[in-house]
Amino acid sequence: MASPSQRPSHRRSLRKRRVLVVSAAAVVAGAGAGFFVMNANASGTDLYHQTLADKDGWASSGSGTTGGAKADAAHTFTVSTRAQLVKALGSASDTTPRIIRVSGTIDANTDDSGKKLTCADYASGTGYSLSAYLKAFDPATYGRSKLPSGTQEKARAAAQTKQAKNVTFKVPANTTIVGVPGTKAGITGGMLQIQGVDNVIVRNLTFSATEDCFPQWDPTDGDDGNWNSEYDSVTLRGATHVWADHNTFTDAPHFDSANPKYFGREYQIHDGALDITKGSDLVTVERNQFTNHDKTMLIGSSDTDSIGKLHVSIHHNVWKGIVQRAPLARIGQVHLYNNLYDTATVNGYALQYSVNSRAKAQVVAEDNYWKIPVGQKVSKLLSGDGTGSVAGSGNLVNGTATDLVAAYNAENSKKIKTTVNWTPTLTAGLETSAKDLPTSLATTTGAGVLD
C-alpha cells in the first residue's frame, strides 16, 4: 500500500513477430498440466514461449527476460479457475520454468470449489463491521492524531488478512502467464504478486475490479485523513527482469465515483494498477491499456527506496481516464516513450497529473502524445517535488511540439530539472515522431490484440 508521503494528499508499430495466426489446434479445449497449444505466427514463434526482444527496454538487459520459455510439458498449464491458478503457480520459491495459460476470466473472490465469496464472507468470524469501525474511529470522538488501534482495527486487519489470502497470487521466478487468445482472458478481483523473484512475463490479460473490502482509516494522512486500501492488480516488490505486455487494467465495473464518503473522505477501495517498488529493477512495460483508475503506476515505494535500481522502460501504452501516477517515479532511471495520454475525464476520473518525477528520479520522456481537452492547462501534465528530472524531446500536445517541463516550471515553485545522468540505449521500436500514435496505438495495445 502506498505510504502517506506519496498519496494525492501531498503504455512502435506492432512488430511482425507479434502478428499471431491462430492455428486450428488453438481452438481445442483443454486444461491442466501438460496441455499446450501452439499459437504460431509466420516466423514459427508462439505466444506462450515468446521472449522479450533484444534491446526492448530495461528488462532486456543482462540475461534478458524469457519467463517460462524453457518449461517442459509437466509445467505447462491451462487454467480457468482460481484453484487451478493457485495450483499452477505452485510454491513462490520453486524456480522451475512454467507457462500458465489463462482461459477466460478468473474470479479471485471464490473458494476452492468455485463458490463466490463476498466481503461479508471475509468478515465472518472476525468481529468486524463497517458501522462499528466508523463509530470507533469517528474523528469527533477518536481524534485525528493517531492511527486506529484496538478491537475494531484488529478485526478489520483480520478480515483483510482473510481476503488477502484468497486474492493474492504469488508468482515464482521463470514464469510466463498469458491469456489464451479469444477467451477474454483475465483476472478479476485479484493481485499478481511478483516479489523477490527474477524473470517473469505477464501478457494478454485484463485485470479488473481489484478491490479491498476493508480499507483502513488513517486520520494522519494529509490534512483531512484518507482511506487507504491494499492490492495492486500487478505488484512488483524486489522483482527483476519483468515484462508486462498487452494487458488491460481497469477498475470496471465499480468506478471510484460510486464510492461513498466517510469522515468527509472517499472510501477508496482501489490501490495501484501496476506498481514497481521495493528495489524492483529491469522492467519493461509495453502496449498495455490503463484506464478508469486513480493511482495507476508507482515506481519506488518511498523517497528512500533502493538507489541504483528501479530501471524501468514504459513504451507504447495508452493511458485514458487516469487521475495520476502515469507514472509517479522515484530514484530510478525511467524511459518513457511513444505513449498516448488521453486526459479527458472518463467515468468521473479527472486528471490530476500524468507524470510525477520526484526523489531525484531520472526520467527521459520522448515522443509521447498528449490529447487534452479545451481549457486544460499543459502545466498540469507533469508534477514533482523539486528534486526530480524530466529530459527528452518530441512530445506532442494535441499534435503540437510542446516543452512540458517549461510549461510546468512556469507555474510552480518546485521546479522539475531538465537534465539526467544517463542516456537510453535499450530502445527497440522507438518511433521518432509521436504524430501517428493516436491512430496506431488504438489497435495495437491492451488485452485481446494478440488474438
37 or 256: whose pLDDT is higher?
Answer: 256
- pLDDT for the residue 83: 98
Q: pLDDT at residue 43 above 80?
A: no
How many Cα atoms occupy the beta-carbon half-sphere of 407 within 13 Å? 16
- pLDDT for the residue 291: 98
- pLDDT for the residue 9: 37
Q: pLDDT at residue 109 above 80?
A: yes
Q: Which residues, other chains included, contact 120 with Cβ-Cβ below 8 Å and sequence gap of 6+?
A: none
The string of pLDDT tens digits covering residues 189-226 is: 999 999 999 999 999 999 999 999 999 999 999 999 99
The string of pLDDT tens digits covering residues 374-422 is: 999 999 999 999 999 999 999 999 999 999 999 999 999 999 999 999 9
Q: How far, rounded to the nearest angstrom, does the alpha carbon of residue 403 sit from its chain's CA centroid?
A: 27
The string of pLDDT tens digits covering residues 334-381 is: 999 999 999 999 999 999 999 999 999 999 999 999 999 999 999 999
Share of the chain above pLDDT 90, in %: 89
Q: Residue 364 forms beta bridges with which residues? A: 335, 391
35 or 299: whose pLDDT is higher?
Answer: 299
What's the rounded mean pLDDT across residues 141-163?
Answer: 97
193 close to 235: Cβ distance less than 8 angstroms: yes
Share of the chain above pLDDT 70, in %: 90
What's the rounded mean pLDDT across residues 113-125?
Answer: 97
Convert the chain into a string of H (helix), E (strand) and C (coil). Answer: CCCHHHCCCCCCCCCHHHCCCCCHHHHCCCCCCCCCCCCECCCCCECCCCCCCCCECHHHCCCCCCCCCCCCHHHEEEECCHHHHHHHHCCCCCCCCEEEEECCEEECCECCCCCECCHHHHHCCCCCCHHHHHHHCCHHHHCCCCCCCCHHHHHHHHHHHHHHHHHEEECCCCEEEEECCCCCCEEECCEEEEECCEEEEEECCEEECCCCCCCEEECCCCCCCEEECCCCCEEEECCEEEEEECCEEECCCCCHHHCCEECCEECCCCCCCEEEECCCEEEEEECCEEEEEEECCEECCCCCCCCCCCCEEEECCEEEEEEECCCEEECCEEEEECCEEECCCECCECCCCCEEEECCCEEEEECCEEECCCCCCHHHHEEECCCCEEECCCCEECCEECCHHHHHHCCCCCCCECCCCCCCCCECCCCCCCCCHHHHCCCCCCCCCCC
Q: Indicate which residues carry an active-site annotation.
A: 325
- pLDDT for the residue 105: 98
Average pLDDT, the chain: 91
How many Cα atoms occupy the beta-carbon half-sphere of 255 within 13 Å? 12
Give the model's confidence band at 451: pLDDT under 50 very low, under 70 low, under 90 confident, else very high.
Answer: confident
The string of pLDDT tens digits covering residues 49-102 is: 999 999 999 999 999 999 999 999 999 999 999 999 999 999 999 999 999 999
